[in-house]
Amino acid sequence: MADGNAQPAVAQEASAGELVKQLSEQVSRLIRDELKLAEYEMTRKAKRAGRGAGMFGGSGLLALYAVGCLLAAAIIGLAGVLPAWAAALIVGGALLAAAGLAALLGKSQVSKATPPVPEQTVQSVRADVEEIRERAHR
């Protein structure tokens, strides 16, 4: 009887070992499949983002041409009242003033963004570390 009880235990060990082997194979296969899916999804999204960026760049170029046409129309419109050189000077001066204002506003925004350190996150991590230290000393 002792031999009869020993054999089922060996069979159970073998089946448990087989189950562990199958589990590791299935987990490995699942992870590989998930990585392939993630790679496919990211490739698809990158292609879509690339097309969108190209279209956005093209629209920017067209907008630049449109602004040039509008500026030429403004100069020609003013040239009906003023000499052509004065009209071009007025439009050019207005553009320079707008560019200077945009540069000042941009500089202000950049100075607010520096240093490029996530300050709130750093403070949060420091608070977490301090909390952990306090609880460890208790």
Domain region containing 88:
83-138
Tokens of 94: 């207005």
Number of domains the chain is built from? 2
The pLDDT tens digits for 5-37 are 555 554 455 587 788 888 888 888 888 888 888
88 to each of 65, 76, 103, how far by Cα in Å? 17, 8, 22
Is 20 in the same domain as 67? yes
- The pTM of the full predicted model, rounded to 2 decimals, is 0.50
Is 138 in the same domain as 98? yes
Is 12 in the same domain as 34? yes
Is 107 in the same domain as 117? yes
Is 46 in the same domain as 74? yes
The pLDDT tens digits for 72-92 are 999 999 999 999 999 999 999
Is 76 in the same domain as 89? no
